């Protein structure tokens, strides 16, 4: 346990697949940790490992110097922050809230202003790297907000991530995550289309993938998502419904900024189609199944 870790009390709210893994790594790094979640099972797991349970977001915030959130969507974050027993009620001036959720950049700016009026600093810090990155503590954290707040919270970030990058003021982290998801889905569209084309032509798609990995087409998506699609190992992972939510956020951001965004629009349409055809609970790499079906390719 390092000395800096032992002097910072951390609260964690939202113990889903990503949140529970991040909270576990924070506890393992030596931070006193208070946790809260709507369902009790994850709380009980972490309490058994040395964390303490908080009865509400307000109580967790009252006990913590840094509060980390990992929640599904914008309304969930607003509820946890500003409801009657929310973080904003319990947090003392000087508290730092790290929001690792993926939510709307414009809403994040508003949340930051509301918290700052109470002396509380918000760092929007959505993460990339998936469940494995969360378990391994190797996430990429895209941070928006005060540089001074980030400096103070850096030991917590170092417990959950390998790459911690401040990209700008409040909301910039969320916009960066929207760019991340747009880039992933755009690449995924091209990769699965290429592999289905190979299958349609009677060429071994595994061989095509290996060939592409040896050239300029090599990418994380080709290496990982493409293999999941070809193998049919599509249990999430990152659910298609969550990717659709993120793409809608990206499309909204593009609209608000007046950006010509055909890839964002098409990616959102295809993820919508994927979720409307029974694959909403599968990994986003299931987009390849949709392309197969529409191409008349059978497994």
pLDDT band at 95, cuts 50/70/90? very high
pLDDT digits (tens, 9 = 90+) for 242-270: 999 999 999 999 999 999 999 999 999 99
* pLDDT, mean of residues 216-227: 97
Residues 58 and 87: beta-carbon distance below 8 Å:
yes
Active site residue: 109, 132, 162, 177, which one? 177
Q: What DSSP assignment string belongs to 127-176?
A: EESHHHHHHHT-EEEEEES-HHHHHHHHHHHHHHEEEEEEEESTTHHHHH
Q: Report helix, strand or coil for 290.
A: helix
* pLDDT, mean of residues 27-47: 96
Domains of the chain: 3-169 (3.40.50.720), 175-294 (1.10.1040.10)
pLDDT at 6: 57
Q: Report helix, strand or coil for 9.
A: coil
177 carries an active-site annotation: yes
pLDDT at 236: 82
pLDDT at 299: 84
The first and second tokens of residue 246, run together, are: 């993120």
In terms of Cβ atoms closer than 10 Å to its own Cβ (0-12, 13-18, 19+), residue 53 is: middle
The first and second tokens of residue 243, run together, are: 């990717």
Q: Considering the entire predicted model, what is its pTM?
A: 0.92
* pLDDT, mean of residues 9-28: 97
CA distance 115 to 121: 6
pLDDT digits (tens, 9 = 90+) for 114-170: 999 999 999 999 999 989 999 999 999 999 999 999 999 999 999 999 999 999 999
CA distance 267 to 235: 21
pLDDT band at 1, cuts 50/70/90? very low
Residue ranges in the chain assigned as alpha helix (H):
3-6, 17-28, 40-48, 57-62, 74-82, 87-90, 105-116, 130-136, 147-160, 172-200, 205-213, 220, 226-231, 240-257, 262-275, 287-294
Between vectors from CA 130 to CA 238 and to CA 169, what angle results, nearest 5°? Answer: 110
CA distance 297 to 209: 18
Q: Report helix, strand or coil for 99.
A: strand
CA 159 to chain centroid: 16
């Amino acid at each position: 346990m390092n000395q800096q870790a032992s002097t910072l009390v951390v609260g964690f709210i939202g113990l889903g697949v990503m949140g529970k893994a991040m909270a576990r790594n924070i506890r393992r790094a030596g931070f006193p940790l208070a946790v809260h979640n709507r369902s009790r099972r994850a709380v009980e797991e972490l309490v058994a490992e040395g964390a303490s349970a908080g009865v509400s977001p307000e109580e967790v915030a009252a006990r913590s110097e840094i509060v980390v959130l990992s929640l599904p969507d914008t309304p969930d974050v607003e509820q946890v922050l500003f409801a009657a027993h929310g973080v904003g009620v319990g947090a003392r001036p000087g508290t730092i809230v790290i929001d690792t959720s993926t939510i709307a950049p414009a809403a994040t700016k508003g949340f930051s202003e509301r918290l700052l009026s109470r002396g509380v600093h918000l760092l929007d810090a959505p993460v990339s790297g998936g469940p494995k990155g969360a378990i391994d503590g190797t996430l990429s954290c895209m941070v928006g907000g005060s540089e001074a707040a980030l400096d103070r919270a850096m030991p917590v970030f170092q417990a959950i991530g390998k790459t911690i990058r401040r990209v700008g003021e409040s909301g910039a982290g969320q916009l960066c995550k929207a760019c991340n998801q747009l880039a992933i889905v755009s690449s995924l569209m091209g990769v699965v289309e290429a592999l289905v084309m190979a299958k349609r032509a009677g060429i071994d798609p595994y061989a095509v993938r290996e060939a592409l990995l040896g050239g300029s087409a090599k990418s994380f998506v080709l290496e990982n998502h493409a293999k999941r699609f070809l193998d049919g190992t599509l249990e999430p992972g990152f659910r298609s419904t969550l990717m659709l939510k993120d793409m809608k956020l990206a499309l909204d951001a593009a609209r608000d900024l007046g950006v010509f965004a055909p890839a964002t629009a098409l990616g959102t349409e295809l993820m919508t189609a994927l979720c409307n055809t029974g694959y909403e609970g599968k990994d986003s790499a299931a987009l390849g199944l949709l392309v197969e079906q529409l191409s008349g390719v059978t497994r």
